Amino acid sequence: MHPSVEAFTLAAGLLALGALIVHKAGLPPLPVYLLTGLWMGERLPVEELEPLPSLGLLLLLFSVGLEFGPDRLKGLSSKAIRAGLYDTLALPLGFILGLLAGLDLRGAALLAGAIYISSSAVIVKLIIDLRRAANPESEVVLGVLVLEDLVVAILLALLGGHGPVGFLGGMALALAYLLFARFIGPKLVSRVGGLSHELILLLGATFTTGTALLFHAIGASEGVGAFLAGVIAAALGLRERLEHLFGPVRDLGVALFFLVVGAKALSLFQGLTPAVLVLAFTGLLLKLPLNHAGGARVGLSRKRRLYSALYLVPRGEFNLVLGSLALEQGYPLVAQVAVLLVLLSIPLGALLIRFAPELGSLLLREAPRPRRPARSS
């Protein structure tokens, strides 16, 4: 039997055990996937698991792109936009931190992106799992996440290619995809509407991975390619069908991806310096006052603006893309900070989101109202 089957059996068993434990505790499973990989370390044969973890990341970015269709952009509330403007202040602040840490302009920009971007996949899943989608702070948070994904997609397009040629090639290819969706896509969708679920699943997988490969071949970021594939699919009105079909496959791949990230983290953190720890903890704290101020700007109550700030703590998929890119381009410090942010923020963020109401009650106790003097009869 091929060694990859043994590796998959071990990984799936560990993931299932971890998910079972956190399910009984009422917590989301993604943090335990990371921690399981960190605990296994080099004992986990991560090479034998490929290409499932890499495919999981592409499908995750594709799913993020699905949430970015034109209908969602038009539906963005003015509250989300105003809160998102406060949130984007993390970019120049992160850039300054990078310069102070001795990075050049490109490295500082990569670090700024890693500090700025929160995890849409993790946060949306937590909001849904905890049944808080109808809460007023959730509307603001989800809108901020859409804006963040747009900004980081542009940042990846600028920094992810191999110089100006990769950037221009990626922009030209993205334009060609958008023109295809505008003029040819509707006719194509009307013809594929009656196809079987199996065929749609295979065509969607081919489209996603093929787009990622095409972007990689011209020197652009394959992550942007997978993200763009999701945007195009959403623009063609295929969001609901593809979300239903891709969901289980994506969840399996994402679980393996986070497991592998945890397993590889030990080797990445060899020779960890105090500067990495300081940057990671500063990055975690940096967005809290910004998002709290954004919540206040859009009229959320004291507790709700605290919730919105806590909801945006987790970092995830785009941080790992930026970290991988930084490692390829010779910025190990940025890669260490990006991965450390994920390892710290997902478990911490999951707990903060889960217990946000309790924290709000504890930290923001309302002062008792003064009693009115009794009227004399």
Q: Give me the pLDDT at residue 162, please.
A: 59
**pLDDT surpassing 80 at residue 25:** no
pLDDT band at 367 (very low <50, low <70, confident <90, very high): very low
pLDDT band at 377 (very low <50, low <70, confident <90, very high): very low
Q: Is 98 part of any domain? A: yes
**pLDDT surpassing 90 at residue 124:** no
Q: Is 102 part of any domain? A: yes
Tokens of 375: 């009227």
Least trusted range by pLDDT, from 63-77, 168-182, 201-215, 342-356 = 63-77
pLDDT band at 164 (very low <50, low <70, confident <90, very high): low
Kindly state the percentage of the chain with pLDDT values over 90.
18
Q: Give me the pLDDT at residue 369, please.
A: 44
Helix (H, G, I), strand (E, B) or coil at 296: helix
**pLDDT surpassing 70 at residue 216:** yes
Tokens of 160: 């992810």
Q: Give me the pLDDT at residue 114, please.
A: 93
Domain ranges, residue 199:
56-360
How many domains does the chain divide into?
Answer: 1
Do 224 and 166 touch, CB atoms closer than 8 A?
no
d(CA 143, CA 76): 6
Q: What is the pLDDT of residues 312-357, one digit of tens each?
A: 999 987 888 888 888 888 898 998 999 899 888 988 888 898 888 8
Can you list the alpha helix ranges (DSSP code H) found in the chain? Answer: 3-25, 30-40, 52-66, 70-74, 78-87, 90-100, 105-116, 120-129, 136-159, 163-183, 185-192, 197-217, 222-235, 239-268, 274-297, 302-311, 317-328, 332-354, 356-363
Do 22 and 36 touch, CB atoms closer than 8 A?
no
When the pLDDT of each residue in the chain is averaged and rounded to a whole number, the result is 82
Q: Give me the pLDDT at residue 90, please.
A: 94
Choose between 270 and 334: higher pLDDT. Answer: 334
Q: Is 366 part of any domain? A: no
Q: Is 120 part of any domain? A: yes
- 158, 273, 88, 73 alpha-carbon torsion, rounded to 10°: 60
Q: What is the pLDDT of residues 54-64, one digit of tens each?
A: 888 888 888 87
Q: Is 91 part of any domain? A: yes
Q: Is 50 part of any domain? A: no
Q: Is 373 part of any domain? A: no
pLDDT band at 69 (very low <50, low <70, confident <90, very high): low
Nearest to 349 by CA among 320, 305, 316: 316
Q: Give me the pLDDT at residue 138, please.
A: 85
- Residues 6 or more apart whose Cβ sits within 8 Å of residue 225: 173, 211, 212, 213, 214, 215, 216
**pLDDT surpassing 90 at residue 299:** no
CATH number at residue 158: 1.20.1530.20
Q: Is 45 part of any domain? A: no
Taking the whole predicted model, whether its pTM rises above 0.75 is answered as yes
Q: Give me the pLDDT at residue 74, please.
A: 64
**pLDDT surpassing 90 at residue 310:** yes
d(CA 235, CA 195): 19
